[in-house]
Amino acid sequence: MPTSMYDLTVPLFRHMLGNLQGWLDKAKAEAERKGYPVDNLVTARLAPDQYDLRKQVQAACDTAKFTVARVTGTPPPVHADTEQTFPELAARVASALAFVESVPESAFEGAEERVVPLPFRPGKGAVGRSYVRDLQLPNFFFHLNHVYAILRHNGVPLGKSDVITRVDLVDV
């Protein structure tokens, strides 16, 4: 049986946005331990032509909220992209998570075949399943990976166990 669009999105976004919040918490704890302001990390980046930490967090959150909003036809929360501090970034993650969790499973009916207009390609759209699988999920993980890499590069003690935090085990 194919995975439903709800199952493909909401549990994954819930889980990974929770991980993202944990990474921000670890960064705060590490900054306190080392004696520097955690907000120094807000503008950290891996390369001059890439987004800084703030924009990577915003992009990950936006990808999650817009994915759910667009495949269900639910209006997403509006964010002004004005975050300048870790508490503000944490609030952004919490807001995106709350929105993702608020959309009922029933809103996803027909989402697999719903055509989603692509704002960056005027006059073009993608069928729901392809939109999620081929565009939005890779984009979500792209930005999450950059958040992880920026924090790790700046000494935050993150590892694979901070990314892969759960798996449903069964007896074999």
pLDDT grade, residue 1 (50/70/90)? low
Tell me whether residue 169 is in a domain.
no
Residue-wise pLDDT for 78-118, tens only, equals: 999 999 999 999 999 999 999 999 999 999 999 999 999 99
Tell me whether residue 171 is in a domain.
no
- How many CB atoms sit inside 10 A of residue 80's CB? 5
CATH number at residue 62: 1.20.120.450
Residue-wise pLDDT for 19-60, tens only, equals: 999 999 999 999 999 999 999 999 999 999 999 999 999 999
pLDDT confidence of residue 166:
86
Tell me whether residue 51 is in a domain.
yes
Angle at 51 between CA 71 and CA 98, to 5 degrees: 40
Q: How many domains does the chain have?
A: 1
Average pLDDT over residues 52-75: 97
pLDDT confidence of residue 43:
98
Angstrom distance (rounded) from CA 60 to CA 49: 18
Angstrom distance (rounded) from CA 96 to CA 117: 21
Helix (H, G, I), strand (E, B) or coil at 126: strand
Report the predicted TM-score, pTM, of the whole model to 2 decimal places.
0.94
Structure tokens of 23? 């990474």
Tell me whether residue 48 is in a domain.
yes
pLDDT confidence of residue 100:
98
Q: Residue 35 sits in which domain range? A: 5-162
